[in-house]
Structure 1
Amino acid sequence: MTLGMVALVGVGVALSARRSGREASSATRLGLAVVSVLALWLGATALLASTDVLSFRSARPSPWPLLPLSGIAALLLLGRAPLAKTLLANTPRHWPIVAQSFRIGVELIIFAWHQDGRAPNQITFEGRNFDILVGLTAPLVAWLVATNRVTPKPVLLWNVLGLAILANTVATVATSTPGPLHLDWPGAPFTAITTWPVLWLPALLVPLAVFLHVMSLRQTLTVPR
């Protein structure tokens, strides 16, 4: 799932670069550069997961929340670069929306973790995690945008609701782990969050979902009303 999204982002960047007027070889190199950077980030976080740096075994709180915060900050900063603005201007508006359908797979994986006893019920769609609704509606919203069957306001609302649902999901996960944010949820705490490959969920997939929403909001706000 995570590696597939990395590849998809690379392809999307290359296609947008090609649409902006770059030569095919230059667009391909740009896409590969993005994939390489994301792969390095995944490798670094996997290495952290193999150590005790993020574990809950020590007396100090685990610093794992710094990973999604760092990822979100980095992607949003990069999104404001001139090159990113050029790419965004040449990206069809429905692309960032339909890409959010990856959240269906994420929620199914989290549910499988719950079935295996690695994740508590409240972080699944049976509990307080409604993120799958964003993934399920993404193809429909993308189709409406691609065929010009919807005005900007509903798309803005969908993105804002998507961010709110994601924030609720992240908060539920954070309060399900040991530490100062922990709430008295039923069942065992969610300690698998600091292990590989579970760590890739907050380290990359959450920041990517935020980034896609922000990019879609920026595109939608430029559409004449």
Structure 2
Amino acid sequence: MKEFIYCWKDLEPISHIPSYVSLTFIACVLTCVGFLYYATNTLSGEKNNAPVITTTFVAIWLFIITILSLQGFFLDFDFRPPKLFIFLGILMLIIIGLFAFPRTRAIIAQMPITTLTYLHIVRVPVEIVLWWLFIHGAVAESMTFQGVNYDILSGISAPFAGLFLVGMKSKSKLAAIIWNVLTLGLLVNIVSRAIQATPYFHNPLMDAQPNIAVFYFPYVLLPLFVVPVVFFCHIASFYQLIFIKEEEE
């Protein structure tokens, strides 16, 4: 198993991937940043520091992950627990921790739920990027819509959910909750598939190609930024739909 992993490490499996794939994915990352900035910038209050704090944290996080990935930090497959999973766990704890404090909960409660919903559109180009990566032998087929990943449906349906389920002129709280449950389920499905296909758990009988691209820049930002942002949008939407009264929205 170790020889197999280091074979992939030495071959640098993403070096042959066309530049348009990386550029498309970077555009997805920047789109997520833009949505987060807009969601915090529309908050009420004279001293709204949320946009500055959010963009500063995001910029620092992206910088750290970029530098570490370019130095091959996440390619240390002997380290346990896996470094990629450690950083993912840290980011997920930060996201969950935002709901532990009244001040951050108040900020989340004021975020436009339409913006949180429209952000999921980014899942369409992300799925296209994953398909391109599979074609070039950098991720498993199970991570694509050609396999058992149907997360692209979340992105396709996001504009309709934003317009008719949480929009200004048309709202359906129950339908919005159901939509978020279903699309969160699709996210969990692809994340679990991605973890199973990493070199740590890869089973050649299930996937001929292991999931190796996410250990390299810029694709490492998929598990360490894009997926957590999408997860945050789901949790924030649930919070608004379930715990915030209609008259307070």
1:97, 1:138 within 8 Å by CA — same for their partners in 2?
A: yes
CA distance in 1, matches of 2:57, 2:180: 26
CA distance in 2, matches of 1:109, 1:136: 15
Match of 1:37 in 2: 57
Deviation digits for residues 146-177 of structure 1 (CA, Å, limit 9, x no counterpart): 14534321111111111111111001001111
- Report the Cα offset of residue 90 of structure 1: 2.5
1:11 equivalenced with 2:64 (yes/no) = no
Q: Which runs of 5+ in 1 are unaligned?
A: none
CA separation of 1:100 and 1:64: change in aligned 2, threshold 3 A? same
TM-score (norm 1): 0.87
1:106 equivalenced with 2:126 (yes/no) = yes
2:154, 2:183 within 8 Å by CA — same for their partners in 1?
A: yes
Match of 1:164 in 2: 185
Letter in 2 for 1:21: G
Match of 1:194 in 2: 215
Paired residue for 2:114, among 68, 77, 94? 94
CA distance in 1, matches of 2:81, 2:87: 14
CA distance in 1, matches of 2:125, 2:193: 19
- Report the Cα offset of residue 30 of structure 1: 3.1
Instruction: Give 1:29-108 correspondences, 5 Å limit.
Output: 29-55=49-75, 57-58=77-78, 62-108=82-128
CA distance in 2, matches of 1:67, 1:125: 27
Match of 2:45 in 1: 21
CA separation of 1:189 and 1:89: change in aligned 2, threshold 3 A? closer
- The number of equivalent residue pairs is 216
CA separation of 1:77 and 1:60: change in aligned 2, threshold 3 A? closer
Q: CA RMSD in A?
A: 2.0
Larger mean CA deviation between 94-103 and 3-12 belongs to 3-12
- Report the Cα offset of residue 108 of structure 1: 1.3
Match of 1:220 in 2: 241
1:135 equivalenced with 2:155 (yes/no) = yes
CA distance in 2, matches of 1:161, 1:67: 26
Letter in 2 for 1:30: A
2:87, 2:224 within 8 Å by CA — same for their partners in 1?
A: yes
Identity of aligned pairs, percent? 24
2:161, 2:176 within 8 Å by CA — same for their partners in 1?
A: yes
Where do 4+ consecutive residues of structure 1 move more than 4 Å?
none
- Report the Cα offset of residue 63 of structure 1: 2.5
